[in-house]
A and B are shown apart, each in its own frame.
Chain A
């Protein structure tokens, strides 16, 4: 009987650009634009800058580029750093509830530069990363960990590097076995705030790529790493969902369920921002102004998952801790900060996460007026984002879920009560850019963040044009264009 790794390896070896549907290719290009935007924004953070300086101090072969600086380093260091940048402001995309983007885009970029791959090969590898990592994420239950499911990147690293390095089926099986032998487990307290969170996908992605290199040279790994009674799924998951690992590979494309973030922060922050900007628009239409000094209370209702994520981050959101860790990460999950800063600055961009803004006492004071409560209807809807109850059914296979019609319910309702008694409210079911919501072109995100790092307008336009026609270019041409001097 074929093992899970064997079936996954067979698919990875058989897949090529020509076999991937065009709608999957198009969404992958949007993903690349969005992830590069996240990378540029993350490179401006204190954590990002410390990381770059540290990497520059290593002696390494200059095979690949760190973006947007163009610093040349080894493949492993480049993918590590570019993945960390895109993680820094929680600005990455996600499919179903699995966050594949940070490694799916960065691994083929670094290794592809060294190996001089084509745009078509790059897109194929990005999609391989999503499909393998997405399935590994879905196979592990309970799913509440989201971005903390860092082990997915080890599997993605082995899959992408295995494809690009030309591993045989047996070598790819070994690569999975090596990559998941020490499957990483993130510890929440290191996730909620300090710079360590930047490394969530960097470390496992590197392990995965190293596993492929080792396997190519004959190093062995467990053949049944996923499904063995002493294997990854039995040790990591509280439910037996391993059947999704190789389910409908090449037929059901989890990539189609991608949700894109318009603003830095966890998925539910996008809903909050959409709702608040709706309110601000209403206020303006009525010819009024919303003076935040005159706000009496702000009530937010959203799903249980959103309120619990907020709860998890809360102990790390006070100004003293933010000053200690020199990082805005906890605030990317803390609803009151995002609400307060939007009401004061009237925008939510990486500029709202500089040290000056995140330690501004006025913002934190306004944040105290925010009350969060779970809404029963929104919780019921969000619990159905991924219908896990389907998986144990004997005839279940991933093709039963239509990923092109995925709906990312992580809505919210906001009511702002002014001291005068006047009330303003707005409700959002699915944030803009998320699966099933109003589309938000990633060209806009790319442009915004490319400008932040000093890219010229003409260079931005050229890069967007190149990504949207990546089939006609080599990956080295793209990287050259993404460097800001």
Chain B
């Protein structure tokens, strides 16, 4: 059975590809959001991980980064549903299925993660 951790590894591996594709499609002038990098502390069923999304060095590693103030708390099933396309990450947030303690200052990052995932899914990429 594929674990949520494997699916995250898959996701970060594909994030670089989408950045390159958008760069191509936008004809060289790269929209701001493509150059965005973020770090999020993930709590999944009380296990701790750090998700790093960046066009150059994306990663998914064990443990929390103590200097990161962006935390996403959700169970494994939530992430499986997001990776399966049942709803988007942001759609899950609006339904109250995920907790983001300091949402307002982090909202653009939430949109970014959600958008990147949906974009990859619309390209028929599986995780």
A64 to B32, CA, bound (A): 46
A231 interface contact, C-beta 8 A:
no
A193 to B116, CA, bound (A): 27
User: For residues 1 through 50 of chain B, which have their beta carbon under 8 Å from a beta carbon of chain A?
Assistant: 18, 21-22, 25-26, 29, 31-34
Give the total of A residues in contact with B, Cβ under 8 Å.
24
- CB pair B95–A304 under 8 Å, yes or no, is no
A389 interface contact, C-beta 8 A:
yes
Which A residues touch B21, using CB under 8 A? 376
- CB pair B29–A374 under 8 Å, yes or no, is no
Stretch in contact with the other chain, from A70-78, A245-253, A379-387: A379-387
Quick one: which of B32, B88, B90 contacts A388, CB cutoff 8 A?
A: B32
* A374 in contact with B119 given A144-B108, A311-B88, A311-B94 (CB within 8 Å): yes
A375 to B32, CA, bound (A): 17
* A373 in contact with B121 given A311-B94, A314-B94, A315-B95 (CB within 8 Å): yes
Q: Is the interface of A mostly helix, strand, loop or mixed?
A: helix
A421 interface contact, C-beta 8 A:
no
Which A residues touch B107, using CB under 8 A? 142, 144
- CB pair B118–A374 under 8 Å, yes or no, is yes
User: For residues 78 through 127 of chain B, which have their beta carbon under 8 Å from a beta carbon of chain A?
Assistant: 88, 90-91, 94-95, 105, 107-108, 111, 114-115, 118-119, 121-123
A307 interface contact, C-beta 8 A:
yes
Which A residues touch B26, using CB under 8 A? 380-381, 383-384
A388 to B88, CA, bound (A): 26
* A379 in contact with B90 given A373-B122, A384-B29, A384-B31 (CB within 8 Å): no
Which A residues touch B122, using CB under 8 A? 301, 373-376
User: For residues 235 through 252 of chain A, which have their beta carbon under 8 Å from a beta carbon of chain B?
Assistant: 238
Which B residues touch A383, using CB under 8 A? 26, 31-34
A301 to B121, CA, bound (A): 12
- CB pair B108–A238 under 8 Å, yes or no, is yes
A308 interface contact, C-beta 8 A:
yes
A387 to B26, CA, bound (A): 12
Contact code string A162-181 (vs B, CB < 8 Å = 1, else 0) = 00000000000000000000
Q: Which residue of B lies closest to A315 (CB)?
A: B94
A55 to B90, CA, bound (A): 38
- CB pair B118–A373 under 8 Å, yes or no, is yes
Which B residues touch A311, using CB under 8 A? 88, 90-91, 94, 114
Contact code string B64-81 (vs A, CB < 8 Å = 1, else 0) = 000000000000000000
Which B residues touch A301, using CB under 8 A? 122
A287 interface contact, C-beta 8 A:
no
A304 to B13, CA, bound (A): 21
Q: Which residue of A lies closest to B91 (CB)?
A: A311
A229 interface contact, C-beta 8 A:
no
Q: Which residue of B lies closest to A144 (CB)?
A: B111
User: For residues 288 through 316 of chain A, which have their beta carbon under 8 Å from a beta carbon of chain B?
Assistant: 301, 304, 307-308, 311-312, 314-315
Could you tell me the distance in whole angstroms from the C-beta of B116 to the nearest C-beta in chain A? 9
Most buried by B among A142, A307, A314, A389: A307
- CB pair A379–B22 under 8 Å, yes or no, is yes
Quick one: which of A308, A314, A380 contacts B31, CB cutoff 8 A?
A: A380
Which A residues touch B88, using CB under 8 A? 307-308, 311
Which B residues touch A394, using CB under 8 A? none
Q: Which residue of A lies closest to B111 (CB)?
A: A308
Q: Which residue of A lies closest to B115 (CB)?
A: A304
- CB pair B32–A376 under 8 Å, yes or no, is no
Chain A residues with CB under 8 Å of chain B are 142, 144, 238, 301, 304, 307-308, 311-312, 314-315, 373-377, 379-381, 383-384, 387-389
Jot down 24 A-B pairs with beta carbons below 8 A, ordered by A: A238-B108, A304-B118, A308-B88, A311-B88, A311-B90, A311-B94, A312-B90, A314-B91, A314-B94, A373-B118, A373-B121, A373-B122, A374-B115, A374-B122, A376-B21, A376-B123, A379-B119, A380-B22, A380-B31, A381-B26, A383-B32, A384-B29, A384-B31, A387-B29
Given A307-B88, A383-B33, 10 extra CB contacts under 8 A = A311-B90, A314-B91, A315-B94, A373-B121, A376-B119, A376-B123, A380-B22, A384-B29, A389-B31, A389-B32
